[in-house]
């Protein structure tokens, strides 16, 4: 009989794609999701959640709801989380309750309902600044930016002698540098998963996701993925709003590749006990990506609005070293970025979005979180 996979937060962006991927592989899927309004403003199950999914409306912080959802389950993918670096800096209690307490409750309930394996979603945010190389060729794990302020000439980290550092792809062995409450939450989720699973005979895997994009993102959530925020602006005739100078570099990976990575991680023998980066392996500037999305949407006239300001908790450069996932799991991202943007633009053409990016910026500024 096919395995039953529980996906916490499975009505969200990644979860819906993962549900389709697992069903396509012949698995059965159960979803536990609280349907929070920030992600699901219309309430109710998303229309594109597959009909074959066993949906349970419940909060991962509710022990009874979690226990009921675990009945008969063979494996778990833990996606349930509050997501957003900026918002985490002023709603720390809410983020910590969902992300850390919620994970603790899930792991406690797994003591009574052990499963074969749990795969937990982590984030590239745990790295803080990515890996760098200095002018002498030495790798630098602990790069730190100086005090940021309006009109700053250089946003990039320097070494102790003031020489600029060069970003390189960030591997899993780089030490965490937790620069936001969200980053702290995701690292706690990672460690709690590994620490609590093993004593109960449960295999554990964590996937550190880089910038995930694609059809189905929550367009009216101003703290979600950057491409969704840009899309909401463009759909409302407004230019993408970019902090700093737009030259910060990230790795954008399509949600279809991410769904495949989770499905693979549930089954691959070598995934047990491991933590893996999941990205495309290509780095792009945020300004470049904003322009490319505008072009894909036919909005070339809306040139990005470069703010020249920094948000507390943001990092400069971090992109993915994909070596470990490729060598251990045989995983590589397949989606071409240009084709992925075209796929996203086609989906966006049938959507509406409330642009809340300016409101989110005002909220951060009012709390002194923008410099």
Query: Active-site residues: which are they?
Result: 182
CA–CA separation, 332 and 348 (whole Å): 26
The residues that bridge with 117 in the sheet, in sequence order, are: 75, 203
User: Which H or E element spans position 263?
Assistant: helix 255-267
Q: Hey, what are 225's tokens?
A: 């993925």
The residues that bridge with 123 in the sheet, in sequence order, are: 209
Q: Hey, what are 123's tokens?
A: 């984030």
Dihedral angle over CA of 253, 319, 186, 33, nearest 10: -10
> In the chain, what is the straight-line distance between the N-terminal and C-terminal CA atoms, in Å?
56
CA–CA separation, 105 and 228 (whole Å): 31
Q: CB–CB of 317/166 below 8 Å?
A: no
Give me the DSSP letters along 92-106: HHHHHIIIIIHHHHH
CA–CA separation, 289 and 192 (whole Å): 34
């Amino acid at each position: 009989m096919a395995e039953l996979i529980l996906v916490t937060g499975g009505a969200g962006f990644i979860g819906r794609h993962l549900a389709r991927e697992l069903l396509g592989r012949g698995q059965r899927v159960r979803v536990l999701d609280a349907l929070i309004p920030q992600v699901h403003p219309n309430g109710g199950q998303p229309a594109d959640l597959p009909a074959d999914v066993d949906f349970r409306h419940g909060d991962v912080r509710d022990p009874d709801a979690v226990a009921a959802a675990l009945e008969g389950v063979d494996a778990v993918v833990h996606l349930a989380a509050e997501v957003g670096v900026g918002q985490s800096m002023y709603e720390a209690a809410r983020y910590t309750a969902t992300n850390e307490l919620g994970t603790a409750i899930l792991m406690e309930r797994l003591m009574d309902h052990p499963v074969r394996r749990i795969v937990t979603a982590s984030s590239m945010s745990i790295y803080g600044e990515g890996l760098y190389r200095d002018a002498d060729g030495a790798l630098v794990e602990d790069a730190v930016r100086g005090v940021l302020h309006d009109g700053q000439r250089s946003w990039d980290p320097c070494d102790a002698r003031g020489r600029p550092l060069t970003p390189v792809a960030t591997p899993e062995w780089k030490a965490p540098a937790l620069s936001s409450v969200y980053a702290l939450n995701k690292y706690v989720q990672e460690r709690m998963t590994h620490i609590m699973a093993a004593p109960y005979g449960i295999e554990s895997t964590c996937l550190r996701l880089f910038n995930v994009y694609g059809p189905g993102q929550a367009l009216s959530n101003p703290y979600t993925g950057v491409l969704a925020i840009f899309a909401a602006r463009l759909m409302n005739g407004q230019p993408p709003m970019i902090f700093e100078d737009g030259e910060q570099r990230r790795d954008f990976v399509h949600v279809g590749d991410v769904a495949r990575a989770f499905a693979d991680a549930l089954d691959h023998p070598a995934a047990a006990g491991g933590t893996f980066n999941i990205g495309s392996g290509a780095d792009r500037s945020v300004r470049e990506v904003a322009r490319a999305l505008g072009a894909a949407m036919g909005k070339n006239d809306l040139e990005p609005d470069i703010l020249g300001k920094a948000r507390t908790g943001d990092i400069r450069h971090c992109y993915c070293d994909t070596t470990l996932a490729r060598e251990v799991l045989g995983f590589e991202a397949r989606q071409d970025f240009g084709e992925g943007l075209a796929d996203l633009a086609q989906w966006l053409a049938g959507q509406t979005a409330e642009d809340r990016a300016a409101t989110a910026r005002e909220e951060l500024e009012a709390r002194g979180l923008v410099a």
